[in-house]
Amino acid sequence: MLRRLYKWSGRIFALAVMAILCYQLWLFAQVWYRVDHDPSSSAFMQARLEEMQKTDPDAKIAHEWVPYRRISSNLKRALIAAEDAKFLDHEGFDWEGIQKAYEKDVRKGKIVAGGSTISQQLSKNLFLSGSRSPWRKAQESIITLMIEHMMSKQRIFELYLNSIEWGDGVFGAEAAARHYYGTDAAHLSASQAARLASMVPNPRYYDKHRNSGGLARKTEIILGRMNSAQIP
């Protein structure tokens, strides 16, 4: 009886390992496909749309893909300054930033800082659910390594710019520029770009509280950092 149990346990373990490997291969294929194919949506967009349609069946996502060259350098600099100043130097993870975020969380006794790089954020938004489980975090790290080794920094940033959530059902630079300023992503001014970048950590809140004092202060800080930001 015990021998049979061990036998079946071994088979179940082997099947589980095979399933995990197959899933990783599927994700690898997805990342490889996105090297030169532009997505019309993302996992996070789909999840958000489903959530919105629970209360409004006719709800739609505002999103329009635009190529890298048609996005203002002001917005690119603002996002680098706000979200990931070492983007061009790291290989997916900012270990110093992660350590600082951890220390801040310990001091506060709760999670208040993220420390995620642009590559990590893209991995989560483009391919994964919004859950916060250890498995999801581990998977995010694996995908981050994949995209860093398979894509150029410019391609990673292009995908990121087109997939960020910027308001209630608003995704990507083009939709954000039109939603907040009635212009296109190519013509965003420095101050407009800084304000959009300051909204990224909590976009739905700032969509409804556009005159927030905290938002104004963050915008000024990002404006001051933009000139030193290096973009791909």
Mean pLDDT score of the chain: 89
Q: Is the full-model pTM beyond 0.85? A: yes
Q: What is the pLDDT of residues 1-50, one digit of tens each?
A: 666 666 677 778 788 888 888 988 999 999 999 999 999 999 999 999 99
Angle subtended at Cα 157 by Cα 213 and Cα 110, rounded to the nearest 5 degrees: 50
Q: What is the pLDDT of residues 153-205, one digit of tens each?
A: 999 999 999 999 999 999 999 999 999 999 999 999 999 999 999 999 999 99
Q: Looking at residue 102, what is its pLDDT?
A: 54
| Helix spans in the chain (H) | 2-33, 43-53, 73-83, 95-108, 118-127, 134-150, 153-161, 173-181, 190-199, 203-208, 213-225
Q: What is the pLDDT of residues 47-67, one digit of tens each?
A: 999 999 999 999 999 999 999
